[in-house]
Structure 1
Amino acid sequence: MGEAAVGPRVVVGVDGSPSSGTALRWAVRYAGLAGATVDAVAAWDLPGAHTWSAPAVDVDVDEDIARQALAQELRDVLGDESAASVRALVVRGNPVDVLLRAAEGAEVLVVGSRGRGGFARALLGSVSQHLAQHARCPVVIVRPEKAA
């Protein structure tokens, strides 16, 4: 996943959802108080990539698109200056597996309560629920901010 950060780390899962943006802001505020660095982690995978009917696609192009999307979300949510202080990591794989690996040795793992999929009325998404049950560090699950 790239170079390891030195000192305390806050890992935040980012997926483009409103809840993810709220979690990102929370993680940056907490890291400032704790003197920690922030790793913003976006997991990506190819739909059907692990089945016999997987489409022929250019994996490098898909990863570049994911990197650009994460960089844009960091700028949109945090602004240019704060976004520059966050380490952006794009990792191919299942979001649960990617985030559990990224959070090893972290001070805390921060995720939104609802991601991009699932049932709108559910209070907790399947990814955040699984992370809360299996992460080896504290997990903070942030609910989306209510519109003014």
Structure 2
Amino acid sequence: MDRDVSRPRVVVGVDGSPSSYAAVRWAVRYAGLVGGVVEAVSAWELPGLYGWSAPAVDIDVDEDEARRRMRQELADVLGADAVGAVRTHVVHGNPADILLRAAEGAEVLVVGSRGRGGFARALLGSVGQHVSQHANCPVVIVRPERQ
């Protein structure tokens, strides 16, 4: 991921959940206040296909299509004008690990309170829990807006 050290970096995790969309909106507002740049990171991993018990499987993921879909989702959330100012990254790997690496040297890491998976009643998702304990920068956890 590109590192522009001349401006504060605001890294935000995006997974398509309502709370990640709220996190993106928060990150854009905050970056505007501090003169920063927003880096939206989406990590993908195929659970159950890795490890000692899983067979070697070659899954062809179209990363260009994933980037296009991410940009469209961000345009829907932020508006076409604002999305141009957001750098997008689609990365293969464990979401918590990817976000921690992306946030190295960042002003702040922003995540939604709960992603798409896991337990619907959990107050804080596993990625938010992990990055809040291990990040080397401040972490902001954003709850979804009420409908």
Does the TM-score normalized on the shorter chain lie above 0.5? yes
Task: Provide the C-alpha distance between the structure 1 equivalents of 2:70 and 2:95, rounded to a whole number of angstroms.
Answer: 14
| Displacement after TM superposition at 1:55 (Å) | 3.0
Task: Provide the C-alpha distance between the structure 2 equivalents of 1:67 and 1:88, rounded to a whole number of angstroms.
Answer: 7
| Displacement after TM superposition at 1:84 (Å) | 0.4
TM (norm. structure 1) is 0.92
| Range moving further from structure 2, 67-76 or 79-88 | 67-76
Task: Provide the C-alpha distance between the structure 1 equivalents of 2:45 and 2:65, rounded to a whole number of angstroms.
Answer: 12
Task: Provide the C-alpha distance between the structure 2 equivalents of 1:111 and 1:17, rounded to a whole number of angstroms.
Answer: 11
Structure 2 counterparts to residues 56-67 of structure 1, below 5 A: 56-59=58-61, 61=62, 63-67=63-67
> What is the percent sequence identity of the aligned residues?
69
Q: Deviations over 1:88-147 (max 9, x none)?
A: 011110000000000000000000001001111110001101110000000000000011
Which stretches of structure 1, 4 residues or more, deviate above 4 A after TM superposition? none
| Displacement after TM superposition at 1:54 (Å) | 4.1
Task: Provide the C-alpha distance between the structure 1 equivalents of 2:64 and 2:138, rounded to a whole number of angstroms.
Answer: 31
| Displacement after TM superposition at 1:64 (Å) | 2.4
The number of residue pairs the alignment matches comes to 144
Task: Provide the C-alpha distance between the structure 1 equivalents of 2:126 and 2:107, rounded to a whole number of angstroms.
Answer: 22
SS of aligned partner of 1:109: strand
Match of 2:97 in 1: 97
Change (3 A) 1:39 1:128: same
| Range moving further from structure 2, 136-145 or 3-12 | 3-12
Task: Provide the C-alpha distance between the structure 2 equivalents of 1:5 and 1:29, rounded to a whole number of angstroms.
Answer: 19
Match of 2:48 in 1: 48
| Range moving further from structure 2, 81-90 or 49-58 | 49-58
| Displacement after TM superposition at 1:67 (Å) | 1.1
Match of 1:106 in 2: 106
| Displacement after TM superposition at 1:73 (Å) | 1.3
Match of 1:11 in 2: 11
Q: Tell whether the 8 Å contact from 1:48 to 1:54 is kept in structure 2 after alignment.
A: no
Q: Tell whether the 8 Å contact from 1:106 to 1:137 is kept in structure 2 after alignment.
A: yes
SS of aligned partner of 1:131: helix
| Range moving further from structure 2, 3-12 or 91-100 | 3-12
Q: Which runs of 5 or more residues in structure 2 are unaligned? A: none
TM (norm. structure 2) is 0.92
What RMSD in Å do the two structures reach over aligned CA positions?
Answer: 1.3
1:4 corresponds to which letter in structure 2? R
